[in-house]
Structure 1
Amino acid sequence: MTTCRSLTTYPSHVDPEEPIDLLNVAFENPRKIRVQAEGNLGGLPKREKKQKMRDRVHYSEIDVTYHVPDRVTGLQEVEELRRLCPGRIWNFVEINVPFEEYQIARPIVEEVMFPGRTVMDLSLAMALYFAAQGVGDIRSHPGAPAEPYTSSARVLLNGLGSDELLGGYGRFRTAYKAAGWQAIIDELPVHLKMDPRLEAGLGEKMLLRLAAHKVGLVEASRRKKRAMQFGSHSARMAPGAGDKKGDLLLSERIDLE
């Protein structure tokens, strides 16, 4: 029988012989890719910025990479899971979304998502939409060639809600710095859920981090919070959208494509 060294509760929830699919979404974000290739032109002096704009390469000449932050930490974390449960099959499903596919899917997602009001709503919904399809690639081991894979899972589990319940948002830390514990309590009673006196990666979502640490996910328990839309690069996909705020209403946005 498959054994899990520290994750002793897993066999009671999922048959040890049953593979577990870990869905990881990464977007081809033209804005992000151009910044990575050319640097942030917005911070340059006006004359230097104009020169860079004249010399800039066409987007089609830039190599597309899906090595987004969530892909990097996801690959690290699946190795921790494999060390803890070496007998279980962990399918790390790399779901890569080209910009063209994003554009095709966007009106579909905007029609069905709820709430469907803001740019941030769209960023989150797009990541969940492609994750829910479960279509991507898996590798038998790190460095192995990618093989097409479609998850047979009927239910998608995600971590939405933990930030609200466990003090994950940066605004809680800001509130503490401004007016101490009472400012946080006024938003969310959190004495046992977070401690903003500790550094980022420890002080927020403390209950979740302690639970992860207890079952052996030591590395995961110490990772800094990263919002889904930034980790997957689904935020502000349109070129030139870098200055658009997440709370901009979709009905008010300027179509930048």
Structure 2
Amino acid sequence: MCGIFCLLSLSAAPSERDRTVHEHLKRRGPDSSRDVTVQGPNLGCRCLFSAHVLHMRGRLTQQPLQDGLGNLLAWNGEVFGGLPLTTEDNDTSVVSERLSSCNDPSDVLSVLSSLRGPWAFVYYQKDGDFLWFGRDFFGRRSLLWRFDAEFDALTLTSVAAQTSEAVNSAWREVPAAGVFRIDLKAFTETGSLTFELYPWAHTEDDVLSTCSETLVPIGCTAVINQSGLFLTSPVSRLNTSLPKSTNDTETCSNSHLSVEDLQQLLEGKEKDDEVSALIDVLSEAVRQRVQFLPFREKEEDSPPTPERATVAVLFSGGIDSMILAALADRHIPAHQPIDLLNVAFKLHEPKTQKQSVKKPKKHKNKPSNSNTDRAADSKTFNPFDVPDRITGKAGLKELRDLNPDRKWNFVEVNVTQEELQRLRRERVCHLVHPLETVLDDSIGCAVWFAARGTGVIMKEEEEEEEEKSFTSTAKVILTGIGADEQLAGYSRHRVRFKTSGHEGLIQELVMELGRISSRNLGRDDRVIGDHGKEARFPYLDEDVVNYLNALPVWEKADLSLPRGVGEKLLLRLTAKRLGLGPSAVLPKRAMQFGSRIAKMEDGHEKASDKCSRLLTG
């Protein structure tokens, strides 16, 4: 992974970078930094390239990488398939070599279409003086752009900065609609920028609507390439078939299904085959993302210790993260720990005046998804016993039962309001930008603190537990994003199914994957990458998405069943097959509520409201 940057400007324009942006880029890539400027004798403009590398694959390779022909590549990505790579190969070198052999746009598109995995890139093609850039089909890596009309300068960067300057409002995310090409000679002659778009196949017919005036930098123009060329989509279209006879809107909200009921659903051979196939494809996606991770150059002399993990999971104890942890356990060497990063925001201690009047009732056998019972008793109240902490500890027990020999580091990341406010102002507001809603603030802050991995673990000493300060060393962080979007995990899916049946649900799922790049993935990549760590998304692996897209929607979710079972039904059956227990039937709980960050601020805000707290940088 890298922090990449390119400043394209006319020769008279300044080439300085914003200092804050530069610091953010360096944190994304702590292992190597390099600047290269391109300004040929026949080129009236110049490109300043800068790249900061997080070493993850093969030999450490400096970027921007320049080949013998003068082509230059700034690459922020991972190749998990599509090109032949050995464990010793560096994907930047392999991609650069393939691009170097390209003679025309169709060759470039062929190389990019073959890639499987997340990527964002900027590529200077010397033959013809073209600048290519873009993001993968899902937009799993961040790339932002801005045009400064005063200096006729375009900036492309992995991360921007929140400032008070008026030009700041022009930062936008590069749409994951395809790849773009700039004719640098034309830019030199006219001083105006036109982006040629080479769209992904299977996108909307009016693809330019994706690159509307709200997304293209002010003062620039986007046009579809005149040759009619496009990138081959890495995933198939969603199966839109409808069941022959269903009562779409009938629900069973009074039913209470258990883990044992899931076993009965598994008894049908067809469902059994679907579960087996999902385990196979998802397990392979996890394997590709957790194996063959190099240690940093400066760490090679110090071998791994039992305390030092290479992989962590953003962990709430919910089904998405539980399955990732269980599958990672299959592929990570037995002597290495796995870090489970569990974030909690400090609760306010309840008032104690009424506690002497009435003692809280205790329910020994009733599981709880809230902290109500604990909070009612000031003697046992723990301000970090938020719902995700409670389900996280329950999930930890399941994983220990699944593999008692594995060392599971359950990292309790505890955040106070003072620390939240300070680090949001200093760091997170820059990383979330240019997104700006209350939801972006909540998720961005929660993921940033979780990914930092600084907290405490419980260390067992002579049959007693002792709290110990701990910071995760993992450079790879698995996140469960993509599961809800494909398997109808959100409450809005249930609402849409109730009002419009399977047809409406299918439309909602098509929309979910179509907007995941702009709603989630760029932001999460910027936030996690700020710690010199790499976000990896197994549920968005191309083979996983292709498998799920091929299934009819009612085989993936049955929203006539109650919460905790019907949504993501196929995944719940998978959890049962993997040997997991109560976590298989936990209802979906959004991170901002499970971590209780939403309780830190104004409770009357709507998730879609513009968040003033992100404007304090």
Give the one of 12, 19, 25 matched to 2:343.
Answer: 25
When you count helix as a share of all residues, which structure comes out higher? 1
Deviation at 1:204, TM superposition (A): 0.7
Q: Which residue of 1 aligns with 2:396?
A: 78
RMSD between aligned residues: 2.5
TM-score (norm 2): 0.34
- 2:453 matches 1:134: yes
Closer, same or farther in 2 for the Cα pair 1:87/1:115, shift >3 Å?
farther
Percent identical: 42
Work out whether residues 115 and 121 of structure 1, in 8 Å CA contact, stay in contact via their aligned partners in 2: no
- Supply the distance in 2 between the matched residues of 1:220 and 1:115 (Cα, whole angstroms): 35
Structure 2: which 5+ runs fail to align? 1-324, 353-380, 511-552
Equivalent pair of 1:20/1:89 in contact (CA under 8 Å): yes
CA shift for structure 1 position 214: 1.2
Bigger Rg over Cα: 2
| Cα contact 1:10–1:16 (8 A) shared by 2 | no
Please give the alpha-carbon distance, in whole angstroms, between the structure 1 residues aligned to 2:391 and 2:569: 19
Rate the CA distance shift 1:100–1:245 in 2: closer, same or farther, 3 A: same
Contact 2:326–2:399 (8 Å) recurs in 1: no
In structure 1, give the amino acid aligned to 2:585.
R
Could you tell me how far 1:188 is from its partner in structure 2? 2.0
- My pick for the range that moved more, 162-171 or 212-221, is 212-221
Aligned to 2:412: 94
Q: Which runs of 4+ in 1 moved over 3 A?
A: 7-12, 251-255
CA distance in 1, matches of 2:333, 2:486: 29
Equivalence for 1:118? 437
Task: Identify the residue that residue 466 of structure 2 maps to in structure 1.
Answer: 145
Identify which of 477, 486, 503 aligns with 1:182: 503
Q: Provide the rounded CA distance (Å) in 1 between the counterparts of 2:500 and 2:344.
A: 38
Distance 1:121 1:11, change over 3 A: closer
Q: How does 1:50-69 map to 2 (within 5 A)?
A: 65-69=383-387
The count of corresponding residues between Structure 1 and Structure 2 is 219
CA distance in 2, matches of 1:111, 1:249: 15
Q: Does residue 221 of structure 1 match 2:542?
A: no
CA displacement, residues 20-61 of structure 1 (integer Å, 9 cap, x when unaligned): 1101000025xxx26x548xxxxxxxxxxxxxxxxxxxxxxx
Q: Alignment partner of 1:156: what SS?
A: strand
Rounded Cα–Cα distance in structure 1 between residues aligned with 2:393 and 2:613: 38
1:164 matched to 2:485? The reply is yes
Stretches of structure 1 lacking an aligned partner (at least 5 in a row): 1-6, 39-62
TM-score normalised by the chain length of structure 1: 0.77
What is the alpha-carbon distance in structure 2 between the residues aligned to residue 22 and residue 12 of structure 1? 16
Secondary structure of the residue aligned to 1:145 is strand
Please say which of residues 110-119 and 221-230 is displaced more in the overlay. 110-119
CA gap 1:12/1:72 in 2 versus in 1, 3 angstroms: closer
- Alignment-derived partner of residue 59 in structure 1: none
Match of 2:332 in 1: 14
Go from structure 1 to structure 2 and tell me whether the alpha carbon gap of 1:234 and 1:143 turns closer, same or farther (over 3 Å shift): farther
Aligned residues of 1:28 and 1:98 also touching (Cα < 8 A): yes
SS in 1 for 2:466: coil
- How many angstroms apart in 1 are the aligned matches of 2:416 and 2:327? 38
* Residue 140 to residue 9, structure 1, CA distance change in 2 (3 Å): same
Q: CA deviation at 1:251?
A: 4.9
Following the alignment from structure 1 to structure 2, what is the Cα–Cα distance between the partners of residues 228 and 8? 20
> How far apart, CA to CA, are the structure 2 residues paired with 1:90 and 1:213?
20
Structure 2 letter corresponding to 1:168? G
Quote the Cα distance in structure 2 between the aligned partners of 1:253 and 1:134. 22
What is the DSSP-based 3-state SS (H/G/I as helix, E as strand, rest coil) of the residue aligned with 2:335?
Answer: coil
Q: Which SS does the other structure have where 2:444 is aligned?
A: helix
